[in-house]
Amino acid sequence: MKPNILYYSDCYFFAGCENMIANFLNDKSIQSDFSVSFAYNYSEKYEQGLNLRVSNTAYKKFPLRLMKQFIYQKPLSTSLIVSIAYRTFFAFYMLLYKYLAICVNTAILFRFFTKQKIDILHINNGGYPAAYSCYSSVLAAKMAGVHKIVYVINNLTDDYKHPFRWLDYPIDFFIKKWVTVFITGSENAGERLKKILKLDESKQLTINNGIQKRTITLSKEQFKVKYSILENKFVASVVANLETRKGHIFLLQAILQIKNQYPQSLIPLFIFEGLGPEKKSLEKYVSENELDDFVLMIDYIPDVFNLLNASDVVILPSIASEDFPNIIIEAMSLGKPVIGTNIGGIPEQIENNKTGIVVKPQNSDELKNAIIKLSSDLSVLQQFSVEAQKKFDALYEYSISVNKYHNLYKLILTS
């Protein structure tokens, strides 16, 4: 009889960190050696993404109704007193909600786990700590007698500097004790995790995420026609949620510098794909600085690989909370050089001045220089393109990552 592996995830939409889940559920080699099932905290957006990305149906699917993350909303008032009172109230409300959610979700998951036969529980998380139910899944699994737990962390671990993190310390103690092995996508994230949780070397392993190329449904020329882009226009794309941590504002500052220093004919077209809380402020900056001719903001492109394929370079100007962004290796899979910042695992993905350019975060001058270097010298662009494709093929093709997990599952079952 095949051993049973249950994948578990909690994300309100099918984000980049969920791509490995799709890889596991689609992979025939894992299906041949394991009885596979997948449980997740249901949301309509997540369900849509899951159905879009997972073509295989030979696994059991369990959409669960668990308490969701608390999402903080900024106060509408600009009054300092109102703002402080609002933040204080919601800080304590969030704290109470978080630990109530952990308790409730632990009870629900315990009941669910006891009805399953689970040899390995594979938890897919955001950062650490991230989704409340990922905490709960470890606690519930231990109570239900599950002894092999793989815990994947897809972002940088939060330290204990904030007082609210102090309250996590007792839970963290048991999490690190009961998890068989923690997996991070980058060495950087792994070292941070070990330092903060004080893990033994044997409890942490780095396995780079891999991606499966998606179908290109529009050629570069067809994409440009669809979005009214001049045929010979140099295109730089940014695919990221419009959040402060993604650093779009520093890229806009770099674009403004380029506009003020170079002829209009030499300025690339920058396509921002994504939605998020910073949308209005970014649009305001574009308008106030007359960047409308150089920046095209698109809320959503269904087949994002069409955008990547039509781009000459991809930019990710993140300033915080980033580990091993999928968009970088997705771009590399198409031979696209990437300009990224020196945070998290990004410097492990991008070999500076070989497959792309790594710049300091929050540094619009370095962003400007990198953009000009790649847009003005096509021989350098082509050289970087070739090297990006080579590195992807050697390290980040999805089957490489899946095989490493497959071997890990076999190893921990015999240990």
For the stretch 364-395, pLDDT in tens is: 999 999 999 999 999 999 999 999 999 999 99
Q: What is the structure's pLDDT at 86?
A: 59
CA distance 323 to 311: 23
Helices (H), 187-297: 187-197, 220-226, 248-261, 279-288
Q: Per-residue confidence at 93, pLDDT binned at 50, 70, 90? A: low
Helices (H), 6-162: 19-26, 28-33, 44-53, 80-113, 132-143
| Residues 202, 190 contacting (CB under 8 angstroms) | no
Domain count, the chain: 2
Say whether both 190 and 231 belong to one domain. no
Question: Residue 164: beta bridge partners?
Answer: none
Say whether both 406 and 341 belong to one domain. no
361 upstream amide cis, omega within 30 of 0: no
Say whether both 391 and 404 belong to one domain. no
Taking residue 187's Cβ as centre, other Cβ atoms within 10 Å add up to: 13
Mean pLDDT score of the chain: 93
246 token code pair: 């993604």
Say whether both 67 and 193 belong to one domain. yes
Say whether both 320 and 410 belong to one domain. no
Say whether both 138 and 283 belong to one domain. no
Say whether both 402 and 392 belong to one domain. no
Instruction: Express each pLDDT in 40-67 by its tens digit.
Output: 999 999 999 999 889 888 899 999 999 9
Say whether both 161 and 75 belong to one domain. yes
pTM for the model stands at 0.90
Compute CA distances 108 → 44, 160, 248, whole Å.
20, 28, 40
23 token code pair: 């890889």
Q: Which positions ≥6 away from 49 have C-beta within 8 Å?
A: 13, 14, 18
Say whether both 185 and 95 belong to one domain. yes
Give the mean pLDDT of 15-28: 90
| Residues 24, 405 contacting (CB under 8 angstroms) | yes
Q: What is the structure's pLDDT at 160?
A: 93
Range of the structural domain that residue 383 is part of: 220-396
Give the mean pLDDT of 3-21: 90
Say whether both 276 and 410 belong to one domain. no
**Domain at 332, CATH number:** 3.40.50.2000
Say whether both 100 and 73 belong to one domain. yes
Say whether both 196 and 318 belong to one domain. no
